[in-house]
């Protein structure tokens, strides 16, 4: 779900400040059970390390008393933990709640990278962020204004990574609603009207100050790096994709594995991969064109031979040919073989196809004959006169289908 880069600070003053806001690095705590309901399938604790979705950051994964937590919801008295199975009746008053730390730390990296990107885009390009989405492999922000140029992207990426190298502290402050309303140095405005308590501010030292309730790293150095992955124009703005931190390194690793597989498959060095792949695709298209021409020539030659066939029912099986060839053959047959019925089958690469076609003046309906053949082959098919075609799991019923046609035609 896309967030709107609006503050997600604890909106209800009655709920105590949760641990994930005080210490984003807390992986596990013991906390008192405050409320249990719905056959013990959800629990509210006095405190929690699990972040419930908000501001573009997804809910954490984690466990409560060893039970996986399936959903987290903000309520007036605290975070409601929906459990994947009921809390046992003999559970202690104090239970342990634990966050899936690798996933959470990844979210902290992406979320802090978003603050940094948003601050630089605003400061250098004058482009406010209108939305933030933290995806499972790629994250994006939407920037107000026209499409981003290659130069914009290069400048943004350079400046953001400069700030990573500077290892700027990321600090958390809490101020009163009155102080918040008086200050003009806070980037994100638009606090919800119902917000009554303190406002949580996230500061990237010397760069940015914004109201936010999410989880963040303590220094920009922990971002490791930020790589912009692309941009697309959208109504009223531009979407910008990026990856930061360990997922950026994993992504690079995955790319290297794929490039190695392509080098091995195509037998060329990395810088020749694209050109070689394009050449091979062109060659493939050319070969496919040649095959089509040869199949048309083959169909013409076959039709000439079928005209001389003494029987009314003409039948043949083709190995290493597919439905496309049968279609070509049927079309030539319908136009060129008067008074006869054709029944053709083909198989290639574990798939089988068939076609029933009637020549002009045969006195039979391909649709009716074809339905019988499909039944005999235990296959599916369709079509309108003069051609009925279909695909079959195998051609075990071919002789039975032929016998059926032979009887029907009375040959
Ligand atoms: Zn934030």
Residues 15, 19, 22, CA angle at the centre, nearest 5°?
A: 100
What's the gap in Å between 155 CA and the centre of ligand 1? 23
The fold of the 299-409 domain, in CATH, is Diaminopimelate Epimerase; Chain A, domain 1 (3.10.310)
What pTM was estimated for this model as a whole?
0.78
- pLDDT band, very low/low/confident/very high, at 76 (cuts 50, 70, 90): confident
What's the gap in Å between 110 CA and the centre of ligand 1? 10
Structure confidence at residue 2 (pLDDT): 43
Exposed, middle or buried, 64 (CB in 10 Å: 0-12/13-18/19+)? buried
What's the gap in Å between 210 CA and the centre of ligand 1? 8
| pLDDT tens, position by position, 142-169 | 999 999 999 999 999 999 999 999 999 9
Q: Where in the chain is the domain with CATH 3.10.310.40?
A: 299-409
What's the gap in Å between 72 CA and the centre of ligand 1? 18
- pLDDT band, very low/low/confident/very high, at 10 (cuts 50, 70, 90): very low
Residue 255: is its pLDDT beyond 70?
yes
- Residue 226 · residue 248 · CB < 8 Å: yes
Per-residue burial over 102-112, b if 16 or more Cβ lie within 10 Å, else e, is eebbbbbbbbb
What's the gap in Å between 173 CA and the centre of ligand 1? 12
What's the gap in Å between 7 CA and the centre of ligand 1? 8
d(CA 307, CA 337): 6
Over pLDDT 70: what percentage of the chain?
Answer: 94
Q: With left for phi above 0 and alpha for psi between -120 and 50, is residue 181 left, alpha or beta?
A: alpha
- Residue 202 · residue 57 · CB < 8 Å: no
What's the gap in Å between 35 CA and the centre of ligand 1? 29
Give strand pairing partners of 172: 202
Residue 329: is its pLDDT beyond 80?
yes
What's the gap in Å between 51 CA and the centre of ligand 1? 12
- Residue 324 · residue 346 · CB < 8 Å: no
What's the gap in Å between 171 CA and the centre of ligand 1? 11
What's the gap in Å between 106 CA and the centre of ligand 1? 13
Q: β-pairing, 387-392 with 380-382?
A: antiparallel
What's the gap in Å between 317 CA and the centre of ligand 1? 67
What's the gap in Å between 168 CA and the centre of ligand 1? 15
Q: Which residue has the tokens 């709640």?
A: 97
Q: 347 to each of 380, 390, 395, how far by Cα in Å? A: 15, 12, 8
Element (H, E) at 36: strand 28-37
- pLDDT band, very low/low/confident/very high, at 332 (cuts 50, 70, 90): very high
What's the gap in Å between 14 CA and the centre of ligand 1? 22
What's the gap in Å between 222 CA and the centre of ligand 1? 15
What's the gap in Å between 37 CA and the centre of ligand 1? 32
d(CA 369, CA 314): 14
d(CA 274, CA 258): 13
Mean pLDDT across the stretch 301-326? 95
Over pLDDT 90: what percentage of the chain?
Answer: 85
What's the gap in Å between 310 CA and the centre of ligand 1? 83
Structure confidence at residue 177 (pLDDT): 86
Please tell me the CATH code under which domain 105-253 is placed. Answer: 3.30.980.10
Mean pLDDT across the stretch 255-263? 98
What's the gap in Å between 107 CA and the centre of ligand 1? 10
d(CA 50, CA 58): 11
| pLDDT tens, position by position, 356-382 | 999 999 999 999 999 999 999 999 999
What's the gap in Å between 53 CA and the centre of ligand 1? 12
Give strand pairing partners of 67: 64
Structure confidence at residue 181 (pLDDT): 84
- pLDDT band, very low/low/confident/very high, at 334 (cuts 50, 70, 90): very high
DSSP 311: S
Closest CA to 323 of 344, 294, 293: 344
Exposed, middle or buried, 338 (CB in 10 Å: 0-12/13-18/19+)? exposed
- pLDDT band, very low/low/confident/very high, at 184 (cuts 50, 70, 90): confident
Mean pLDDT across the stretch 238-263? 97
Closest CA to 242 of 81, 104, 115: 115
Structure confidence at residue 178 (pLDDT): 86
CA 14, 18, 21, 25: dihedral to nearest 10 degrees? 170
What is the residue-averaged pLDDT of the chain?
93
143: three-class secondary structure by DSSP: strand
d(CA 343, CA 356): 5
Sheet of 199-204, strands arranged across: 170-175, 199-204, 208-211
Q: Which two tokens stand for residue 267?
A: 């037998």
Structure confidence at residue 14 (pLDDT): 60
Contacts for 208 with CB less than 8 Å, ≥ 6 apart: 115, 116, 118, 119, 187, 202
For residue 298, the Cα-to-chain-centroid distance in whole angstroms is 44
What's the gap in Å between 111 CA and the centre of ligand 1? 6
| pLDDT tens, position by position, 40-73 | 999 999 999 999 999 889 999 999 999 999 999 9
What's the gap in Å between 223 CA and the centre of ligand 1? 14
Q: Which two tokens stand for residue 257?
A: 């594995």
Mean pLDDT across the stretch 155-184? 94
What's the gap in Å between 250 CA and the centre of ligand 1? 23
Q: Which CATH class for the 19-103 domain?
A: mainly beta
Is the bond preceding 386 in cis, omega lying within 30 degrees of 0?
yes
Residue 11: is its pLDDT beyond 50?
no
Structure confidence at residue 20 (pLDDT): 96
- pLDDT band, very low/low/confident/very high, at 1 (cuts 50, 70, 90): very low
What's the gap in Å between 363 CA and the centre of ligand 1? 77
Residue 410: is its pLDDT beyond 90?
no
Q: Where in the chain is the domain with CATH 3.30.980.10?
A: 105-253
| pLDDT tens, position by position, 105-126 | 999 999 999 999 999 999 999 9
Structure confidence at residue 284 (pLDDT): 97
What's the gap in Å between 112 CA and the centre of ligand 1? 6
What's the gap in Å between 5 CA and the centre of ligand 1? 8
- Residue 367 · residue 395 · CB < 8 Å: no
Structure confidence at residue 405 (pLDDT): 96
Interhelix angle 245-266/273-307, nearest 10 degrees: 50
What's the gap in Å between 84 CA and the centre of ligand 1? 29
- pLDDT band, very low/low/confident/very high, at 23 (cuts 50, 70, 90): very high
What's the gap in Å between 185 CA and the centre of ligand 1? 16
Structure confidence at residue 192 (pLDDT): 66
What's the gap in Å between 232 CA and the centre of ligand 1? 24
Structure confidence at residue 9 (pLDDT): 46
| pLDDT tens, position by position, 185-197 | 888 756 666 677 8
Choice among 6-20, 89-103, 239-253 with the minimum mean pLDDT: 6-20
Q: How far apart are the first and last CA of the chain?
A: 68
Residue 292: is its pLDDT beyond 60?
yes
Sheet of 139-144, strands arranged across: 129-133, 139-144, 237-244, 226-234
- pLDDT band, very low/low/confident/very high, at 26 (cuts 50, 70, 90): very high
What's the gap in Å between 128 CA and the centre of ligand 1? 15
């Amino acid at each position: 779900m896309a967030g709107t880069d609006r503050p997600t600070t604890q909106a209800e003053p009655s709920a105590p400040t949760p641990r994930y806001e005080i210490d984003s690095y807390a992986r596990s705590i013991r906390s008192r059970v405050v409320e249990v309901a719905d056959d013990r399938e959800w629990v509210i604790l006095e405190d929690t390390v699990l972040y419930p979705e908000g501001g573009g950051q997804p809910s954490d994964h984690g466990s409560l008393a060893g039970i996986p937590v399936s959903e987290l919801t903000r309520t007036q008295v605290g975070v409601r933990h929906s459990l994947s199975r009921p809390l046992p009746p003999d559970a202690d008053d104090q239970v342990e709640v634990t966050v899936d730390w690798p996933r959470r730390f990844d979210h902290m990296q992406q979320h802090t990278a978003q603050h940094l990107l948003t601050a630089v885009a605003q400061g250098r390009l004058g482009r406010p962020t209108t939305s933030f989405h933290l995806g499972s492999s790629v994250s994006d922000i939407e920037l107000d204004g026209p499409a981003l140029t290659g130069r914009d992207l290069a400048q943004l990426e350079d400046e953001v990574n400069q700030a990573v190298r500077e290892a700027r502290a990321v600090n958390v402050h809490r101020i009163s609603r009155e102080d918040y309303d008086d200050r003009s140095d806070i980037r994100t405005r638009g606090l919800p009207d119902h917000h009554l308590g303190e406002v949580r501010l996230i500061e990237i030292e010397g760069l940015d100050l914004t109201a936010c309730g999410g989880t963040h790293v303590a220094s920009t150095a922990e971002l490791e790096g930020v790589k912009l992955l692309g941009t697309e124009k959208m109504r009223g703005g531009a979407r910008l994709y990026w990856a930061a931190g360990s997922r950026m390194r994993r992504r690079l690793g995955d790319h290297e594995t794929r490039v190695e597989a392509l080098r091995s498959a195509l037998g060329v060095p990395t810088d020749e991969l694209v050109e070689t792949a394009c050449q091979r695709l062109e060659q493939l298209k050319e070969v496919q064109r040649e095959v089509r021409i040869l199949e048309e020539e083959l169909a013409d030659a076959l039709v000439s031979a079928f005209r001389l066939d003494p029987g009314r029912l003409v039948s043949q099986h083709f190995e290493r040919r597919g439905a496309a060839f049968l279609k070509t053959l049927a079309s030539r047959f319908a136009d060129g073989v008067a008074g006869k019925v054709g029944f053709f089958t083909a198989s290639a690469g574990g798939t089988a196809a068939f076609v029933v076609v009637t020549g002009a003046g045969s006195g039979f309906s391909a649709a009716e004959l074809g339905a019988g053949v499909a039944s005999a082959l235990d296959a599916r098919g369709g079509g309108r006169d003069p051609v009925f075609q279909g695909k079959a799991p195998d051609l075990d019923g071919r002789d039975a289908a032929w016998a059926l046609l032979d009887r029907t035609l009375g040959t």
